[in-house]
Amino acid sequence: MINVTLIGTGGMLPLPNRFLSSCLIEYNGKSILIDCGESTQVSLSKGKFSINKIETILITHFHADHVTGLPGLLLSIGNTGRTQPIHIIVPRGAGEIVNSLLVVCGYLPYEVRIFEIRENKPVQFKEIGLNITSIPLIHHINCLGYSFELFLKPHFLPEKAKQLNIPVHLWKFLHNGENVEFENNIITPEMVLGNKREPIKISYVTDTRPNEYINEIIRDSDLFICEGMYGNDEQYEDAVKKKHMLFSEAACIAKDSNVKELWLTHYSPSLKNPEEYIGIARNIFQNTVAGYDLMSKKIIKSE
Amino acid sequence: MINVTLIGTGGMLPLPNRFLSSCLIEYNGKSILIDCGESTQVSLSKGKFSINKIETILITHFHADHVTGLPGLLLSIGNTGRTQPIHIIVPRGAGEIVNSLLVVCGYLPYEVRIFEIRENKPVQFKEIGLNITSIPLIHHINCLGYSFELFLKPHFLPEKAKQLNIPVHLWKFLHNGENVEFENNIITPEMVLGNKREPIKISYVTDTRPNEYINEIIRDSDLFICEGMYGNDEQYEDAVKKKHMLFSEAACIAKDSNVKELWLTHYSPSLKNPEEYIGIARNIFQNTVAGYDLMSKKIIKSE
């Protein structure tokens, strides 16, 4: 199970009721935060999230609206008594910028480990318990989207284990993929496990024009969170100039990539009521939702 | 007239209903902002203040809770179309830190002029239409308070001008302190102006232990805004260790300095309800008010 929450849904400027775009992904008792603009910690606090569980912060790019909340959040995490390291993953060239921002932090009681994704092609990394793939984007500066896959163990089938008379205390090893020896027989996991399961897949893309990498990497996502900077198709020229997307462009990507659900986020401050334009997106991709701050969903696969 | 507003009243951490400590001083159509922690621009927006009028930002010190809102605010001011320079006044050694923070700003359509107050003694500067005196404070890093004096022109006395038959179109020059020539006589301002008036004086002190400079410089302020990190006198050891002040210490300074009114601000996140301890301060200095976000007052001297 993954729990996904939009911590903020604003682009460029925080509004009194719309914090800057940021997303929290909770899985296996840990959290990943995507982007950390000004006031992210305020919204996390409003949502009563435990900031101490954040192990990794993924930064899409180093425009101020995506990163200036970092020093404050890291200090607040320090105040929780954390001593375990925090990983910050950033696009190429942005490591120095993190260090510039953190100059106001003074002492932090844990290590901050910064990883730059230097390649301008998708990169996979699995160090933090789920598979993350970076998505090269097209913005004014180096910018990345991220796609997450949480691999799910096949279901354990107790009736098969009982048929083989395997004692219950050995079941967990088999479920974890280990062979066990029982009454001089080697029992292998596939003897008691169900079929391979599809991972839970979530993709997050903001601050870009459409590009072919996006459609390829996010394919078949259970949830695709995408910027919808402008609702009205008449703002196409603005979108091209500012390297952002229309609702309709996000919906086209969702449709072409066969995702299950699309959430729009990262609205222009001029877009006061995203619901007004949601029909434009739904005409292209029916299962589109206009995201709002602290909108949350548990994504579960039972099959 | 000066309008003073507490933009935030929190120390260390923003809380969902308490932004980080910051103060806006409006006078003669301009504004001065003191400190700019994370979410300052959100609170300014909630209060419907025109950020484009901010000409000067005074920074008390470079702990994150006082400055990480700077890049976002400067960008938002840029989005209003401003082209006039903004002045940022900072304590010794902090100019480089401003530049570090602004690395995420990219292009700003106006000049940012940074002035470091290098002396460890009070410094006066008058460039921005009112007299500001820095107050050296005692904190973990270089830290300054600020005292503001808005000088008021003597009242113009129309009855005296009429006695002298001075035409109305010459009155404004006399009120501005200029001599005028009328019917071969030199008319001097003092012939038509009232008595010299006391300036409006406001003083702002956060993040310090008490010290002798404070009492000396803030003397006779119309309003003294002071940190009250802890309400309970039993937290004296915390206050000393963390170089902050108790409500009672702020009240003692207010009393000793003969100010007219004391506002408490910069509360510890652990101090959920400052009103609970306000009696401790009022026992020492009666005219104490527990500040809250967007508390505002017009300070007018009619005499």
B273 Cα to chain A: minimum distance (Å): 18
Q: Among A45, A76, A103, whose Cβ lies nearest the Cβ of B97?
A: A103
Per-residue pLDDT of chain B (303 residues; tens, 9 = 90+): 999 999 999 999 888 789 999 999 999 899 999 999 999 999 999 999 999 999 999 999 999 999 999 999 999 999 999 999 999 999 998 888 999 999 889 889 999 999 999 887 888 887 677 899 999 999 888 999 999 999 888 999 999 999 999 999 999 999 998 999 988 889 999 999 999 889 999 999 999 999 999 999 999 999 999 999 999 999 999 999 999 999 999 999 999 999 999 999 999 999 999 999 999 999 999 999 999 999 999 999 876
Cβ of residue A79 closer than 8 Å to a chain B Cβ: yes
Task: Please report the pLDDT score of residue B127 as a whole number.
Answer: 64
List of chain B residues whose C-beta atoms are within 8 Å of the C-beta of residue A242: none
Compute the distance between CA of residue A229 and CA of residue A232 in angstroms, rounded to an integer.
10
> What pLDDT, on a 0 to 100 scale, did the predictor assign at position B288?
98
Q: How far is A96 from chain B (nearest CA, A)?
A: 10
Ranges for all domains in chain B classified under CATH 3.60.15.10: 2-152+197-299
* CATH 3.60.15.10, applies to A2-152+197-299: yes
Residues contacting residue A47 through CB under 8 Å, at least 6 positions apart: A5, A7, A24, A294, A296
Question: Which pLDDT value is given to residue A127?
Answer: 64
B13 at the A interface (CB within 8 A)? Answer: yes
Regarding predicted confidence, which is higher, A91 or B303? A91
Contacts of A112 (CB under 8 A, 6+ apart): A74, A85, A86, A88, A98, A102
Q: Does B80 touch chain A (CB under 8 A)?
A: no
Q: What DSSP state is assigned to residue A253?
A: H
Q: What is the pLDDT of residues A162-185, one digit of tens each?
A: 999 999 999 999 999 899 998 888
- Please give the ipTM for the structure prediction: 0.83
A14–B103 CB contact, under 8 Å: no
Given a cut of 90, whether residue A106 has pLDDT beyond it is no
Distance of CA A234 to the CA centre of its chain: 30
Sequence-distant (6+) residues with CB within 8 A of B269 are B10, B11, B12, B13, B15
For an interface test with A, the pick among B21, B49, B60, B68 (most A C-beta atoms closer than 10 Å) comes out as B68
Contacts of B75 in chain A (CB under 8 A): 12, 64-65
- A80, closest residue in chain B (CA to CA): B13
| Positions of B marked active-site | 65
Alpha helices in chain A (DSSP H): 40-46, 64-67, 70-79, 95-101, 158-163, 171-175, 212-218, 236-242, 247-256, 278-282
Closest partner CB to A65 (pick from B62, B63, B72): B72
Q: How many other C-beta atoms can be found within 10 angstroms of the C-beta atom of residue A233?
A: 13
Give B199 to chain A, closest Cα distance, Å: 36
> Does the structure show a pLDDT above 70 at A76?
yes
Q: How many residues does chain A have?
A: 303
- For residue A37, which residues of chain B lie inside 8 Å, CB to CB? 72
Backbone angle region of B260, left / alpha / beta, with phi > 0 → left and psi within -120 to 50 → alpha: alpha
